[in-house]
């Protein structure tokens, strides 16, 4: 039994104020840690996901794993195979959060396949998804108090309003150098993979910014999450 992993799992639940461990609450906690969850399939991905995979050469990881972390520069991404069952996705997300919490992530690479790291992430997952009995009772009590809040977080996630919240925050600090494409509703830093080398990319005007029609890209403009 790895007491460290157990301690880390319990303190993670406490720090992130998770009243009920499920996919929505773990997603919110991952966002809080500065990570964006990317749902991918081993089949055909949408344009943005396909761009990330090819730009960062993640084809092999996509083929060989059901989830992994990619961290480089401003990009902190958790990739999860969306074709898994709900229970499997929860396990994969918990495992990847384990890597983050146990500090296995080094910039400029995907999660390694270090045996010790994998073991610790699995132990973390075990304790996160199967808390000890007394913790479970506390969790149950807290759940009722916080049910409304959890529901609200889930709603916010579902509606994708997180980007909208960033827009409001960003409005006062905007001072130029952002780019958009003719098809996207997000604005980006100049070197973001979504605008770099794209024929239809151009600079965002003040009027367009003020119109509120564009939100900051979660990948290259993750401010406000750290």
Instruction: Compute the CA torsion angle 51, 57, 61, 62 (nearest 10 deg).
Output: 20
Please identify, among the stretches 52-60, 151-159, 164-172, 210-218, the one whose residues bind Zn ion according to the rule CB under 5 A: 210-218
* Buried-state track 61-87, b at ≥16 Cβ within 10 A, e below 16: bbeebbbbbbbeeebbbbbbbeeeeee
Written as six digits, the tokens of 14 are 């406490």
Tell me phi and psi for residue 37, to 5 degrees: -90, 130
Which one among 188, 198, 215, 222 touches Zn ion, defined by CB under 5 A? 188
**Whole-angstrom Cα distance, residue 39 to residue 89?**
10
Give the footprint of Zn ion on residues 100-129 (CB under 5 A): 118, 121
Please state the closest distance from residue 197 (CB atom) to Zn ion, in A.
13
Q: Please say which residue, 6 or 68, places its beta carbon nearer to Zn ion.
A: 68
Q: Does 220 bind Zn ion (CB under 5 A)?
A: yes
Residues in binding contact with Zn ion, number by CB under 5 A: 8
**Which lies closer to Zn ion via its Cβ, residue 19 or residue 29?**
29
CA distance 38 to 24: 14
Rg of the chain on CA atoms, in Å = 19
* Residue 80 touches Zn ion, criterion: CB under 5 A: no
Nearer to Zn ion, 98 or 131 (CB): 98
Token readout for 85 is 């069952």
Q: Which of 35, 75, 79, 194 binds Zn ion (CB under 5 A)?
A: 194
Choose between 19 and 120: whose C-beta lies nearer to Zn ion: 120
Choices 4-12, 80-88, 143-151, 184-192; region in contact with Zn ion by CB under 5 A: 184-192
Q: Closest distance between Zn ion and the C-beta of residue 156, in Å?
A: 21
Q: In angstroms, rounded to a whole number, what is the distance separating the alpha carbons of residues 163 and 73?
A: 20
- What is the binding site for Zn ion (CB under 5 A)? 118, 121, 188, 192, 194, 217, 219-220
């Amino acid at each position: 039994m790895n007491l460290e992993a157990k301690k880390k799992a319990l303190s993670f639940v406490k720090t992130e104020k998770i009243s009920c461990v499920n996919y929505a609450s773990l997603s919110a906690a991952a966002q809080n840690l500065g990570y964006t969850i990317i749902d991918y399939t081993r089949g055909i991905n949408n344009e943005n996901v396909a761009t990330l995979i090819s730009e960062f050469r993640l084809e092999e990881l996509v083929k060989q794993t059901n989830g992994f972390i990619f961290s480089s520069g401003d990009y902190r991404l958790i990739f999860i195979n969306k074709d898994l069952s709900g229970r499997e996705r929860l396990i994969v997300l918990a495992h990847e959060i384990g890597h983050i919490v146990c500090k296995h992530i080094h910039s400029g690479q995907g999660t390694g396949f270090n045996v010790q790291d994998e073991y610790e992430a699995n132990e973390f997952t075990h304790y996160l998804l199967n808390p000890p009995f007394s913790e479970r009772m506390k969790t149950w009590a807290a759940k009722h108090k916080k049910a409304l809040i959890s529901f609200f977080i889930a709603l916010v996630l579902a509606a994708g309003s997180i980007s909208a919240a960033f827009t409001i925050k960003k409005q006062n600090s905007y001072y130029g150098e952002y780019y958009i494409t003719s098809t996207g509703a997000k604005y980006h830093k100049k070197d973001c993979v979504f605008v770099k080398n794209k024929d239809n990319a151009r600079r965002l005007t003040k009027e367009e910014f003020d119109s509120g029609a564009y939100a900051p890209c979660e990948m290259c403009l993750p401010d406000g999450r750290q």
